[in-house]
């Protein structure tokens, strides 16, 4: 008889997205993403961080102040990193698992890359114009989005 307490696909892929978020150096928001094929194969992962070659210690991480002294013009979001990090092949028809609903800029990249479904945990910026624009673009382009249904399962990894 086979085991009954194995991870569902959603638990598995969201777990990978959350584990990826742990790589972020951001003091306030850690976001992770995992892109999977329609055959449930991991295609890429990403997290919010500075562009390759930009030393994290030399970059600003502040949320407030003059624009160029904040993280906002520099940080590459988890979704975009996952799209850009793919090793090869198309993302057409793929799903992306993310810990935070995508902003409008990431939504454009998701749509353009051919990803067809977004599974997210939090939508804490739902009332912002950025997220409203994301949802409008997703609706118009046929990209489905759904909130991840938490199972309450805890996984402990001893590293």
**Residue 152 DSSP class:** -
Q: For residue 45, list its beta bridge partners.
A: 34
Tell the residue number behind the tokens 């919010």, with chain if given: 48
Helical pair 104-113 and 78-85, crossing angle rounded to 10 deg? 20
Please give the Cα distance from 95 to 93 (Å, whole number): 7
Kind and range of the H or E element at 119? strand 117-122
Given the residues 64, 66, 79, 127, the one annotated as active site: 79
* Residue 140 burial class via C-beta count within 10 angstroms: exposed 0-12, middle 13-18, buried 19 and up: exposed
Q: Does residue 127 have an active-site annotation?
A: no
Q: What angle do CA 61, 66, 72 make, to 5 degrees?
A: 40
User: Which residues carry out catalysis?
Assistant: 79
């Amino acid at each position: 008889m086979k085991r009954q307490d194995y991870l569902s696909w959603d638990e598995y892929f969201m777990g990978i997205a959350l584990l990826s978020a742990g790589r972020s150096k951001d003091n306030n928001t850690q976001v992770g993403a995992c892109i999977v094929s329609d055959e449930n194969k991991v295609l890429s992962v990403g997290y919010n961080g500075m562009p390759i070659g930009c030393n994290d210690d030399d970059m600003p991480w502040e949320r407030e102040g003059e624009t160029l002294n904040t993280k906002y013009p520099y940080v590459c979001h988890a979704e975009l990193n996952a799209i850009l990090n793919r090793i090869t092949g198309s993302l057409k028809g793929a799903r992306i698992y993310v810990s935070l609903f995508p902003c409008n800029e990431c939504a454009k990249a998701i749509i353009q890359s051919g990803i067809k479904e977004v599974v997210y945990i939090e939508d804490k910026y739902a009332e912002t114009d950025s997220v409203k624009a994301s949802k409008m673009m997703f609706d118009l382009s046929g990209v489905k989005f759904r909130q991840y249904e938490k199972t309450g399962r805890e996984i402990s990894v001893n590293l």
